[in-house]
Structure 1
Amino acid sequence: MQKLVESFIATANAFDVEGALSLFAADAVIDDVSVGDTFVGRDGVRKYLERFFVGYSTKSRLLSLEELDDLHSNVRLDFTGDFGHEVGILKIAINSDGLIERIDADLE
């Protein structure tokens, strides 16, 4: 899980939307309470990345990663960008192929 999270951070920080999308299952879901919206499938994930990472020049830094089991982790990230600074929590679930199938995101 650590490598997958690091790959997600690296591709998102590089604004490499295609690279980040390659880490997600086709039917992935991002439910971000802090923005009040859910993004479904690769098109939804693309929209999320383009709006909140590329659009706000967001850079992320890993603060902690707690592996709950082989398929679930809680990740704490430091976010900076055009919006200022926030700390967020991502509850990440992966599928048996090692792709992200769900992220539940919120800010502290």
Structure 2
Amino acid sequence: MQKLVASFVATANAFDVDGALSLFAADAVIDDVSVGDAFVGTDGVRQYIERFFVGYSTKSRLLSIEEVDGCHSEVRLDFTGDFGHEIGILKIAISPDGLIERIDADLE
């Protein structure tokens, strides 16, 4: 899980949308309470990354990973960008083949 999270942070920080998308299952969901919307499938995840990472020049720094079990982790990230500064929580679920299948995101 730690390698997958590190890859997601690295690709998002590089604004490598296709690289980030390669980490997600085709039917993945990002449900972000802080923006009040869910983003479904490859097109939805692309829209989320383009809007909230590329669009706001967001840079993330990993603060912690707490593994709940082999497929679920809670990740704390420090976000900075055109919006200012926030601490975010990502509850990440991975599929049996090691891809991100769901992120429940919120801000502290």
Q: Number of aligned residue pairs: give it.
A: 108
Q: Which runs of 4+ in 1 moved over 6 A?
A: none
- Identity between Structure 1 and Structure 2 (%): 86
Task: State the TM-score, normalizing by the size of structure 2.
Answer: 1.00
Q: What is the 5 A alignment of 1:1-108?
A: 1-108=1-108
- Calculate the TM-score normalised by the size of structure 1: 1.00
Structure 1 unmatched runs, 5+: none
Deviations 1:7-35 (A, max 9, x none): 00000000000000000000000000000
Q: What SS does the corresponding residue of 2:106 show, helix, strand or coil?
A: strand
DSSP-derived class of the 1:98 partner: coil
Counterparts of 1:87 and 1:30 in 2: how far apart (Å)? 17
**CA RMSD in angstroms, aligned pairs only:** 0.2
> Which ranges in structure 2 are unaligned for 5 or more consecutive residues?
none
Provide the rounded CA distance (Å) in 1 between the counterparts of 2:42 and 2:70: 23
Equivalent-residue separation in structure 2 for 1:37 and 1:2 (angstroms): 26
Deviation of residue 3 (structure 1)?
A: 0.1
Deviation at 1:42, TM superposition (A): 0.5
